[in-house]
Amino acid sequence: MSKEILQIFSLRDGDIVVDCTIGTGGHSEQFLRVISPQGRLIGIDRDIESLNVAKERLKNFQNNLELVHEDFRNLDLVLKRLNIKDVDAFLFDLGVSSFQLDNPERGFSLKSQGPLDMRFDKESYILAYDLVNYLSEQEISSIIQAFGQERFHNRIARFLVKERNIRPISTTQDLSDIVLKAIPYRYHSHKIHPATQTFQAFRIAVNRELESLEIALEKSMQFLRKVGHICVVSFHSLEERIVKEKFIKFSKDGLIKILTKRPLRPTIREIRQNLRCRSARLRAAERI
């Protein structure tokens, strides 16, 4: 949804933009073309591999670019360290990138055999393996229910504990196979893999995604200048709810004007070009 984001931001040469989930630099490349040569872009990401790709991609803009390996929940520390007091635009493009999904070694994809990892930041200590193999049945069930909204959370947790008593659950294929066994066949969806919600739940738990999002949105208001803009692209209902509620709160506090009464969605053409964007929802606001 790059076109819509660019229209909302209305960037100019000299603006300061913070891409809180820069990934491989797709959005930021477009921003830099507009705000250069006087502007500045700060790209934050927890994934050092993505940052390395972004660094190469954006090498022609190195004088206008700061790349930071950090969780965006700490964006206030990042900006203070860079002596930035006001920001013209914040972007949060949430979810897992194709760069991460397409690498089986990262453990995000249930369609590829890989280690049960799911960390955005490979320097983090907790892996999905640890949650699946060491938490209690009740704790696993709670994670799958709260972060995956999976109706069979109790049954899946029971099957996981039973299986790990025989041997460790160590790969994405192991996890996927057990979930398939746990969910009655008549409830298997032909459109969405039955293990999707369970994978989502463990990924969110490993990376503490929802907690980070709430903290980062609050902190962004400390730096967003008047008439500056914030855009958030979410990919599931839990993120969407947090963004919606935060925007309503900020609006009631007199901090922002909400620009999207209902979230914007990708066009049919965009979905055809990139099927993974089909669940994207864009919300935007302007600082007042």
Q: Does residue 134 carry a pLDDT above 90?
A: yes
Q: Does residue 211 carry a pLDDT above 90?
A: yes
| pLDDT confidence of residue 188 | 82
Residue entry with tokens 């938490």: 135
**CA separation for the pair 79, 68 (Å, rounded):** 10
Residue entry with tokens 């984001």: 5
| pLDDT confidence of residue 267 | 74
Q: How confident is the model at residue 104 (pLDDT cuts 50, 70, 90)?
A: confident
Is 286 exposed, middle or buried, given 0-12, 13-18 or 19+ CB atoms closer than 10 A? middle
Is-contact 24 99, C-beta < 8 A?
A: yes
Give the residue with greater pLDDT, 235 vs 157.
157
pTM over 0.75: yes
How does pLDDT run across 12-68, given as a tens digit for each residue? 999 999 999 999 888 999 999 999 999 999 999 999 999 999 999 999 999 999 999
Q: Does residue 208 carry a pLDDT above 70?
A: yes
How does pLDDT run across 22-36, given as a tens digit for each residue? 998 889 999 999 999
Structure tokens at 96: 């897992």
Length of the chain: 288
The secondary element (H helix, E strand) that includes residue 159 is helix 153-164
- DSSP symbol at 203: H
SS3 116: coil
Q: Which alpha helices (DSSP H) does 17-118 contain, by range?
A: 26-35, 48-57, 75-81, 98-101
Structure tokens at 76: 């206030």
Lowest mean pLDDT among 113-127, 225-239, 258-272: 258-272
Domains of the chain listed by start with CATH number: 2-99+210-287 (3.40.50.150), 103-207 (1.10.150.170)
How does pLDDT run across 218-247, given as a tens digit for each residue? 999 999 999 999 999 998 899 999 999 999
Mean pLDDT of the chain, nearest integer:
92
Reading across the β-sheet that carries 16-19, which strands appear in turn? 65-69, 40-45, 16-19, 87-93, 224-234, 281-287, 256-258
Residue entry with tokens 């980062």: 216
| pLDDT confidence of residue 98 | 72
SS3 44: strand
**CA separation for the pair 112, 70 (Å, rounded):** 27
Is 180 exposed, middle or buried, given 0-12, 13-18 or 19+ CB atoms closer than 10 A? middle
